[in-house]
Amino acid sequence: MTTDNNTLARDFVAAFNTKDASKVGAFLHPDVVFQNYGEPEVKGRDAVVRIWQGVFRSFARVRFETVNQAVNGDVVLAEQVHGLALPGGKLAPIMNLAVYEIRDGKIAAWRDYGNPQYAMKLLQA
């Protein structure tokens, strides 16, 4: 794993495409705090990995990509497309803004901002 925060964040997003929560977890600080817009805050790498295990089981396809990214020291802002498809459904291109705070070469704080109502509409199409 790299110590360059730009590459770290891009590699983290790419790890979602494996649908392997342990690969996603490898980028997270043990004390990570994850906040997904509209959901309760989740604390700790193990808890975040469990969430993504469930997400990966729920979706037939996962295709995440970074559109634009800005880095200022240990803070990364990333405009992303979270492509998700339910079983039998089309890949829904859900726009997202992620904020990562890096500590000790790992993601220590992670905040995702999006529109959950619009995401549900796209998933059900």
The class (CATH top level) of 5-124 is alpha beta
3-state secondary structure of 33: strand
| Tally of residues, the chain | 125
Q: Can you tell me the distance from the alpha carbon of 107 to that of 34, in angstroms, rounded to the nearest whole number?
A: 10
Domain boundaries, the chain: 5-124
Q: Which residues contact 106 (CB under 8 A, 6 or more apart)?
A: 27, 28, 29, 30, 32
For residue 16, which of 58, 57, 52, 43 has the smallest C-alpha distance? 52
Edge-to-edge strand ranges of the sheet holding 92-103: 42-43, 28-36, 106-113, 92-103, 75-85, 61-72
* pLDDT digits 0-9 by tens, 27-78: 999 999 999 988 999 999 999 999 999 999 999 999 999 999 999 999 999 9
- Whole-number pLDDT of residue 124: 85
> pTM for this one?
0.92
